[in-house]
Structure 1
Amino acid sequence: MDRTRRERWTRYRFRSVWDLDAPAARVYAALERPEEYPRWWPQIRGDGATGPGDGRSSSGALIRSALPFTLCVTAAELLRDPARGVLEVALHGDLDGWARWTVRPRVGPGGRGGPRTRALYEQEVEVRRPLMRWLALPGRPAFRLNHAVMMRAGRRGLAAHLGAGPQAV
């Protein structure tokens, strides 16, 4: 397979929607603290690599879901905008690209019920880990499923952390 074709198979674009029964400000506050993700997101483990980058905060994480390998990723903050509910980071390491959370309040059915929030997660990355690049074509369905499993667990974990139940989307 030529290089251009292989690179196409090593690029991923993900989108996940988490509907949560919690106020948008609480959801945003939890998502803006990636160093605390390991407390509620089982697949994310901190590696202790945190510190200032170019005047913005950065953090490192080890990520492992259902497949038998661990990804090492560093996230450097690109945007933190509480007024718009947006958090964006640049990702480097075994994955290279960006990830963004957009947090918005939602009105419940008929305008009743407690506060509800929709958190949209978007990610565009290229896989840099050699084994995953080599397995790009045959492993793609498993890699996408692995990501979906991880995101479902993250939604459940955040809902429990916030004391709210996740809504299926």
Structure 2
Amino acid sequence: MPAPVERAFDTVADLEHYARWWPDVRHVVGIDDDTARVAIRSSLPYTLHLTLHRTRVDAGARHLLAEIAGDLEGWASWRLTAAADGATTLRYSQEVVTTEPWMNAAGHLLAPAFRLNHRAMMRRGQAGLARHLAFA
């Protein structure tokens, strides 16, 4: 990411403003300082409704961990490190399961489409975050 690690960390830790830079995050409502409800719509014709709750915000270690509930259940983790050129290396990982009955029933058939959709959504998020950080 084209920004100092502190600014990049502050941006990904700010759940309530993901829609500013991530095109697939269509709507966010902050619930409290650590929790937000988000609506996500990517390339496939459905919207995911999730609640994100920050369970770890460690600015010193530059690690954000959030529980995910709703149409998906699990967690997401952001780990950031400063690069030698003043930029930031960001590692995102997540582990989730679907909770929607139709997704569970069709998951084995639609798994390749779900994976492609997720990869496209993550690429748009990465590009959107890079643009946001470059001009913020």
TM-score band w.r.t. shorter chain:
over 0.9
Q: Is the 8 A contact 2:18 2:28 kept in 1?
A: no
Q: Counterpart of 1:162?
A: 133
Q: How many residues align?
A: 135
Q: How does 1:1-169 map to 2 (within 5 A)?
A: 20-48=1-29, 50-51=31-32, 57-107=34-84, 114-163=85-134
Q: Identity of counterpart residues, as a percentage?
A: 37
Which aligned runs of 4 or more in structure 1 are off by greater than 3 angstroms? none
TM-score, normalization by structure 1: 0.76
- Per-residue displacement from partner, 1:95-151 (whole Å, max 9, x unpaired)? 0000000010112xxxxxx41211100100010011111111011111111110001
Contact 2:23 2:128 in 1 (8 A): yes
Structure 2 unmatched runs, 5+: none
Partner of 1:8: none
Are the structure 2 counterparts of residues 125 and 155 from structure 1 closer, same or farther at C-alpha, using a change threshold of 3 Å? Answer: same
In the TM superposition, residue 50 of structure 1 has moved relative to its aligned partner by: 1.5
Gaps of 5+ in 1: 1-19, 108-113, 165-169
1:47 shift after superposition: 4.0
Report the CA distance between 1:26 and its aligned residue: 1.0
Larger relative contact order (Cα-Cα within 8 Å, sequence gap ≥ 6): 1
How far, CA to CA, are the matches of 1:80 and 1:121 in structure 2? 14
| SS across alignment from 2:29 | strand
Residues 35, 46 of structure 1: 8 Å contact kept: no
Q: 1:48, CA displacement in angstroms?
A: 2.1
Larger radius of gyration: 1
Provide the alpha-carbon RMSD of the alignment: 1.3
